[in-house]
Chain A
Amino acid sequence: MLLEPTTHDLELIYERPEALADTQTHYCPGCTHGVAHRLLAEAIDELGLREKTILVAPVGCSVFANQYFDIDGCVAAHGRAPAMATGVKRVQPDNLVVTYQGDGDLASIGMAEIVHAAARGEHITTIFVNNAIYGMTGGQMAPTSIIGQKTTSSPLGRDPRLTGAPIRVSEMLSTLDGAAYVVRRSLHDVKNIRKAKKAILTALKVQMAGIGFSMVELLSSCPTNWGITPVEALEWIESDMIPTFPLGDFKISDAVKSLETR
């Protein structure tokens, strides 16, 4: 005999965040952009800020991010998201303004914009997705590509004698007085994803408390352009990326510390 369905007893414990749009993304299988999007959306929902948030998307794989969030947003020119976000925030100071940027966008063409936004203590939050490669254009060397990493523009592996060493953006920005909260997290396993979520929540709270610039760097996977499987890509983050980009808190200002203990 079949059991009667007992849907009235079920409790919904996992659903699409309101800040996410009900749609499919174009991201490749095994790419962690989707995880990063969800964490940001959950954090926005939990703070009740969906209707106050303005998302500045970059140029790169996340250029379509505005389609995947059910919030106001815009698409900046390549690397200029911190400048565009500054323009938005200065005339909409009560809004939550978030830039979502990849490593080519933020650490190469947009280095001046991110440094000066951080130096000004601009009241914006940056989600910095570092996957050590240019994804959208098909896997070229990024400023964060690690030594020896093979890409379509460093086919023999990144040679530091020719192209220098990867830039550790979080460490660099942490030296600036205007940077209030700068941390690096990873999306390669559940434990680290939970830590990343907590960091994003803190970063958004830092902005809404008017403390200063906040950034969460997320080590992310790009199996398509790394030329490995999704599972191998997660393993590569742990084995090869984290030694170059150690996880940790690089700047937690005193005002942020008191915010966290409140």
Chain B
Amino acid sequence: MAKDMLKGNVAIAEAAVRAGCEAYFGYPITPQTELLEHMSVRMVELGRAFLQAESEVAAINMVYGAASAGARVMTSSSSPGFSLMQEGLSYIAASDVPAVIVDVMRGGPGLGNILPSQADYFQVTRSAGHGDYHPIVLAPASVQEAIDFTVLAFDLADAYRHLVIVAADGLIGQMMEPAELPEMRPLRARPPWAITGANGRAKNVISSFNLQASEQEAYNLKLQDRLAVIREREQRSFEHHAEDVDLLVVGYGSSGRIAYTAVEEARARGLNVGLFRPQTLYPFPERRLRQLAKTARALLVVEMNAGQMLEDVKLFVPDRPVAFYGRMGGVVPMPDEILTAIEAQMTSLAPVGA
């Protein structure tokens, strides 16, 4: 298939349609509204379910309902709206039903603004709601990755009966670039656990409720086992000249992409610098990062927040100095800012053998 000039939000929506998304429920919020608008056309013309809900609270609970009925279902929002979905996300996670949520992150906290940010890293990776769980979190750095990760999100959600979040930022949602959409897939059949009417079988009940502490703990242990499998199998990352470097720059999504340009420029100036870009924020791609960190002398984390992934990097790489460069509140760092941060770190590293 040929590449098309696509806006990130629209590309995610069309990728979802082609991945067999059967239902979409959402609420308008900048900078993701084009996603909802595209769905309002495409889902309806394909005879699938589209509904603009009365709130993000309602939207996520509609998702919960459609997911319980076994349909491939998605919602999308941006940071303040994503906050409103926390309750529903926790119920979905605790009911073992698959669902895909897109968070096109914007500047916060509070109402903040409508500009690109990565300040939801804690919120998406740590629990996205009350209770002990983590969603699977995919962080695209281009429109093409936004497409690929949306399709992957549906497949991972189904494979693990788990919540999957595509954590894009406002830059990915709003920018246009050439990308290739996947072929249209047929809708998949409803799984046997779905609530579709107890027709010729025992009844199915979808619930996150259990008053018996021992049974609820047993459920939690099962959930933790699943997360262990997810951590084992689903770590994904992109790297560029990341082996045997003096300084390893770590960034995801838009900041990872901007850091790529800075790393290229630094290398052109003769600095031994590489890039490691996590594509899954949960599970954090710690296995590969630890390997690379063995030969790196120091790390520089770049994010569009005050240093959130920074905590994960420090957790998994405790024996190397980890510096940080971040911009907040919707400010997108320029490559030369990151280059300056790279050069400062390289200067502070003592010459080898000194």
Contact = CB atoms under 8 A, between A and B. Distances in A.
Interface of A: 50-54, 56, 63, 66-67, 69-77, 80, 83-92, 95, 112-113, 115-116
B199 A51 contact: yes
Interface string B1-28: 0000000000000000000001101000
A159 B71 CA distance: 47
B61 A50 contact: no
Interface string B232-262: 0000000000000000000000000000000
Contacts of B69: 54, 87-88, 91-92
Interface of B: 22-23, 25, 49, 51, 53-55, 57-59, 61-71, 73, 87-88, 91, 95, 195-200, 203-209
B197 A52 contact: yes
A92 B197 contact: yes
Nearest to B53: A83
Contact of A87 (B57, B66, B95): B66
A88 B61 CA distance: 10
A105 B207 CA distance: 17
Given A77-B88, A88-B195, A56 B203 contact: no
Contacts of A89: 65
B49 A90 contact: yes
Contacts of B203: 66, 69-73
Contacts of B49: 90-91
Given A88-B195, A90-B23, A72 B204 contact: yes
A70 B203 CA distance: 6
A88 B205 CA distance: 13
In order of increasing CB-CB distance, the 10 nearest A-B pairs are A87-B65, A83-B61, A87-B62, A84-B65, A80-B61, A90-B49, A87-B66, A116-B54, A74-B206, A91-B71
Given A53-B197, A70-B198, 8 more contacts: A71-B198, A74-B65, A77-B88, A80-B58, A91-B22, A92-B69, A112-B54, A113-B54
Contacts of B23: 87, 90-91
A84 B25 CA distance: 11
Nearest to A87: B65
Contacts of B197: 51-54, 71-72, 92, 95
Contact of A52 (B55, B66, B70, B199): B199
A31 B208 CA distance: 25
Nearest to A54: B195
A84 B61 CA distance: 5
A113 B87 contact: no
A69 B59 CA distance: 27
Contacts of B64: 76-77, 80, 83-84, 87
A115 to B, nearest CB: 8
B88 A80 contact: yes
Nearest to B49: A90
Contacts of B200: 51
17 contacts: A52-B199, A66-B205, A71-B197, A72-B198, A73-B206, A75-B205, A75-B206, A75-B209, A83-B57, A83-B64, A88-B65, A89-B65, A91-B69, A91-B70, A92-B196, A113-B54, A116-B53
B66 A90 contact: yes
A87 B204 contact: no
A53 B64 CA distance: 18
Nearest to B97: A74
Contacts, number: 128
A242 B51 CA distance: 37
A52 B203 CA distance: 11
A138 to B, nearest CB: 15
Contacts of B51: 86, 90
B208 A75 contact: yes
Nearest to A49: B197
Contacts of A116: 53-54, 58
B68 A87 contact: yes
Contacts of A95: 196-197
B196 A84 contact: no
A84 B68 contact: yes
Contact of B65 (A50, A67, A83): A83
A240 B346 CA distance: 80
Contacts of A113: 54, 57-58, 61
A113 B57 CA distance: 9
Contacts of A85: 65
Nearest to B198: A72
A45 to B, nearest CB: 13
Contacts of B70: 91
A118 B195 CA distance: 23
A75 B207 contact: yes
Nearest to A115: B54
Contacts of B58: 80, 83, 86, 112-113, 116
Nearest to B65: A87
Contact of A66 (B53, B87, B196, B207): B207
Contacts of A63: 209
Contacts of B198: 50-51, 70-72
A87 B207 contact: no
Contacts of A70: 198, 203
Given A91-B69, A92-B69, A76 B61 contact: yes
